[in-house]
A = this chain, B = another copy of it.
C-alpha cells in the first residue's frame, strides 16, 4: 500500500538486467561510450528529431535547472505555475544554476492558462532596465497536481511564449504518463507543440536514476555540456545511465510502465470516488489528490499504508475530510490497491 511517490517503488527488472549486460569489459567515460551513442540515436527517433541534442543526467532537478539555465540569462525571469516543481521543490536550484534569475509565478494552482500566462508576461519588462527581463516559459507535463495539458492547451501556451519570443521548457518528469494519457506521440507533445527543450524523465517510471535533456535546436549543445560538467552532473561511467535509458525505451517499456501506472491510478480513483472521496484535482495520469474522512486515513496508516497528507494535519477533533496525495507507479498491484480500499 505504497502511494507515497512514484520514486519509492523498485526498479523495473529489465532496467536492472540492462545494467548487468552493460557491465562487460571497458568503455570510455564521460559520454564517449557506445551505449550513449546508441541512446542519442534512439531518443532522436523517439522524438522524430534527427538534429536534437541529447544529454543524460541522474536527477530531475538537474535536468530542469540545467535546461533552464541554458535557455535563460541571470537578469531574466522564468514564467511558471505557482505550484511548479522548479518553484516549490528544488531548493532554489533554478536560481542557483541560472546565476540568480527570478521565477514569476502564474497564479493557477495547477495548470496555467494562456490568458494567465500572457498576463504574467505582459506585467514584466514594463520598467526597462529596472525590472527583470522576460525569460523562458516552463511547463510541467504531467503537472504537479496530476493534471495533463491537452495538446491544444500546450499549443496555446507555447503560442503566447512565441509571441514574446520566449523559449519553452517542458518538465517531463512524468512525460510517459502524459503521453499515454493523451495517446499522442513524443513529437506531438514536444517540438510539434512548440516546446524547445524537454526534461524527459525515467526515474519515476521504472529507472534507477536517469533523466534525459533534449534540445530540439542543437545550438545549445556545447553550452549545456559545459554547464552540466560545471554543475558536477557529468558522470564518468555514463554507460550505466545510457543502459538504463536504452532499456527503458526498448520494446515500449516506458509506455507499458506508464500505462500500468495510469491504469492503477484510474482504478484507485474510481474506487475512491465510489467510496465518497472528494477530488481536489481531476486525476488524469498517475496522481490523485482526494479527501477522505479522517478516520479512514487513520485506519490506513495504522495498517501500514504510505502516502502524503496534503495541506492538513491528521490530528483534529471531528471526522472531517482530509486531503491526501496518492501516487501510483507501474509496480503497484491491484491487490495492494484493493487492500487499501478495504481499509477506508
Which residues of A are at the interface with B, using a C-beta cutoff of 8 A? 2, 4-5, 7-11, 13, 16, 19-20, 23-30, 57-62, 65-66, 73-77, 88-93, 95-103, 105, 127, 129-133, 203-204, 208-209, 223, 225-227, 229-237, 240, 306
* Contacts A5-B29, A27-B8, A100-B100 given; does A59 touch B232 at CB 8 Å: yes
Listed A/B pairs (11) with beta-carbon separation below 8 Å: A11-B240, A16-B20, A75-B91, A88-B127, A91-B133, A91-B229, A92-B102, A95-B100, A96-B99, A99-B99, A203-B237
Copies of this chain, count: 4
* Contact of A234 (CB < 8 Å), options: B5, B8, B129: B129
Cβ contact within 8 Å between B96 and A225: no
Q: Is B65 within 8 A of A92, CB to CB? A: no
Q: Determine if A74 and B59 form an interchain contact, defined as CB atoms under 8 angstroms apart.
A: no
**What is the bound-complex CA distance between A4 and B29, given in angstroms?**
9
Name the one of B9, B23, B97, B100 contacting A92, with C-beta atoms under 8 angstroms: B100
**In the complex, A24 Cα to B26 Cα: how many Å?**
29
Cβ B96 vs Cβ A74 within 8 A:
yes
- Bound together, the chains give a CA A29 to CA B61 distance in angstroms of 14
Interface residue from B7, B96, B101 paired with A231 (Cβ < 8 Å): B96
Q: Is the CB of A236 within 8 A of B7?
A: yes
